[in-house]
Amino acid sequence: MNNYTSVWSDLNQVEFSQGFLQAGPFRTRYLHSGTSDKPLLLLMHGTTGHAEAYVRNLAAHGEHFNTYAFDFIGHGYSTKPEHPLEISHYIDHLIAVMDALGAEKAYLSGESLGGWVAARFAQLHPDRVERAVLNTMGGTMANPQVMERLYTLSMEAADDPSWDRVRARLEWLMADPSEVTDDLIRTRQMVFQQPDWKMACKMNMALQDVDIRRRNMFSDDDLRAITPECLVLWTTKDPSGPVEEARRIADLMPNGELAVIDRAGHWPQYEQPEEFNKIHLDFLLHGHGSTTEAPR
């Protein structure tokens, strides 16, 4: 395969560490770049994801931030609670991570579920957020077809973490399926092969249940109540919803801004890392007016 990449080809020039942090009751696995004298940046993945979602972003962000990509509870190699996981549980985990790192405030960036958590945290705890990036965020739509597809692909891969089923789950994320390399499949397959994964996957699929999802979703008033500066980052090929939804979200937020990346699906930070890193860092470092939206 000519375009074959691996986690190591993404990280081989990066000063980084992998470790486990005890965040309250939660053993939390992370990838880290940067140094503790820089501002804290937390990178949060999506449903059934893990910290490797950000391997193509650690170098660029570590130059400016004390950067942690961490596995949410119920995900990756972090603690897996045996109860359905709603947004409040992820927020408790995020607070525990910040407290364990001794941080009163942080820059936040979340993809999909991570964006949902970041946005709700920014609404509830604005004094603890410097700026937030909401990357193909969840929490504003309840599309039954999208929810069913995500649930089916995820549970099939949990029931039988075969190569093809794990690949199908990853291909849902990408505009270009060739980005799903053997290494990425194997990285996620090892997560899915853990003895407690089938239980954990059911718990982190809770938000695909219509009733549970509805009580966790953002109303328009919730979005209007998010006061920190937020960049709503979307893509032209996102499988979860159209750019128009991202524009609506950004317009409702008092300090919202929109940026759109072309030729990417649900993982722009992985599919278009150079463009993502530029837009992302411009906003995190300089705030509003530093990003440019792609043509409509």
Backbone dihedral angles phi then psi of residue 21, each to the nearest 5 degrees: -115, 135
pLDDT at 5 over 90: no
CB 295 within 8 A of CB 269: no
Helix axes 144-159, 197-204, angle to 10 degrees: 170
What is the pLDDT at residue 291? 61
What is the pLDDT at residue 276? 98
pLDDT at 59 over 70: yes
What is the pLDDT at residue 296? 37
What is the pLDDT at residue 293? 53
Of 51-60, 121-130, 143-152, 220-229, the one with minimum mean pLDDT is 143-152
List pLDDT tens digits, range 73-91: 999 999 999 999 999 999 9
What is the pLDDT at residue 142? 86
pLDDT at 3 over 90: no
| Domain 16-286, CATH | 3.40.50.1820
Average pLDDT over all residues of the chain: 95
pLDDT at 295 over 50: no
Give the residue from 292, 279, 251, 253 showing the smallest Cα distance to 109: 279
Residue spans of the domains in the chain: they are 16-286
